[in-house]
Amino acid sequence: MTTEQEKAAAGEPVLQAIDLKRHYAVDGGFLKPAKTVKALDGVSFSLQAGRTLAVVGESGCGKSTLARVLTMIEPPSAGQLLYRGQDVSQADPALAKLRRRKIQIIFQNPYASLNPRKRIGDILEEPLLINTRLDARERRERGQAMMARVGLRPEHYSRYPHMFSGGQRQRIAIARGLMLDPEILVADEAVSALDVSVRAQVLNLMQDLQRDLGLSYVFISHDLSVVEHLADEVMVMYLGRVVEQGTKEAIFGRPLHPYTQALLSATPRLNEAARRERIKLSGELPSPLDPPPGCPFSSRCHRVMPVCSQRLPALMQQGGRQVACFAVEQDLGASAP
């Protein structure tokens, strides 16, 4: 048994985020001080090998920023990103090479993520050309084998992206992400731009690849019905912070945070018995430039209390999940994680 297999058997996380932050300095205007946008403000999680962590929340909650930080498209302002115990967020060439091989991303828009000037074969071979010493014949064989794995035909290898449908382009993007044999795929709204039937095909493909290759997914989505189908664990974000995190069964079976309850109540259900009473949120998502004091959700919460506008709730352990809410803490007597 190899060292990595021993670590996996011992339950070591394949990916671990520790208090990740990503802040942006924004010009406040003429004679005004600069402001800070806290797109990510202390996100932590552990991802086990072969598992899927789903990240959900409204637009502007920090999901895509998290995807860019996990793949180091943007470096974190603070915190650590550990791949099998190694901090790959450090400015170290060897760790950067390891990160590129082991953590890959699938972008949301299949029409913008592929270079229109390059043939599909060149797009698939490019990661191998940069990161390996394989010759042209070996790169082509690897590329064609990966195309077959994602359900594309050999004659597609010499075609350009504009000759494919959205679903086929996303299959190509998945194939490109798998060329370096990664362990982790970060899928940033990877099926949101596809129609329903094609979406189901791509999701089934991702599940097959996970089973066959032992992949771990960080699956970012606003579609909770897709999350319920695919995820093992769920992390709910609001304005750059995690408000609830736990297993899929715990989150969908008994959501505790008022924001999670509102999100799930808006999910369409064919089964009338499974439908939840609709909770309508009042107001808009606060500006990240000027968040409300205390809990960022307090301005829209139907369970707001005086303490909510005075202090920021911490993630507390309760019932197999972590929740950041004073109302839940009062109801259940939560304990620190």
User: DSSP label at 37?
Assistant: E
User: What pLDDT is recorded for position 280?
Assistant: 78
Amino acid, single-letter form, for residue 223: D
Strands 233-238 and 52-56, by their bridges, are parallel
Residue 6 has pLDDT above 60, yes or no: no
- Model confidence at 269, pLDDT cuts 50, 70, 90, reads low
User: Any idea of the CA torsion for 177, 63, 287, 24, to the nearest 10 degrees?
Assistant: -60
The average pLDDT across 220-228 equals: 89
Residue 168: band (very low, low, confident or very high) from pLDDT cuts 50, 70, 90: very high
Lowest mean pLDDT among 61-75, 200-214, 261-275: 261-275
| 173-198 mean pLDDT | 91
Closest by Cα among 191, 236, 189 to 61: 236
| pLDDT-derived band at 231, boundaries 50, 70, 90 | very high
> At how many degrees (to 10) do helices 120-131 and 136-149 cross?
120
Residue 40: C-alpha distances to residues 79, 159, 187, 204, 237 (Å): 11, 39, 18, 31, 10
219 Cβ neighbours under 8 A, 6+ residues apart: 52, 53, 54, 55, 187, 190, 227, 230, 231
- Report pLDDT for 276: 66
- Asked if the model's pLDDT at residue 102 lies above 80, the reply is yes
Backbone angles phi, psi at 232, to 5 degrees: -100, -40
With 50 as the cut, is the pLDDT of residue 227 above it? yes
CB 247 within 8 A of CB 213: no
Spatial separation of the C-alpha atoms in residues 191 and 57, rounded to whole Å: 16
Tokens of 142: 């690897």
Q: In sequence order, what are the residues at sequence separation of 6 or more whose Cβ sits closer than 8 angstroms to the Cβ of residue 22?
A: 38, 39, 40, 62, 65, 68, 69, 74, 76, 77
If you search the block for the tokens 């999350």, which residue do you land on? 227
pLDDT tens-digit map of 44-71: 999 999 999 999 998 889 999 999 999 9
Mean of all residue pLDDT scores within the chain: 89
Crossing angle of helices 196-213 and 166-178, rounded to 10° = 20
Contact predicate 281/262, CB 8 Å: yes
Instruction: Give 286-330 pLDDT, tens digit per residue.
Output: 888 888 889 999 988 888 899 998 999 999 888 778 999 999 988
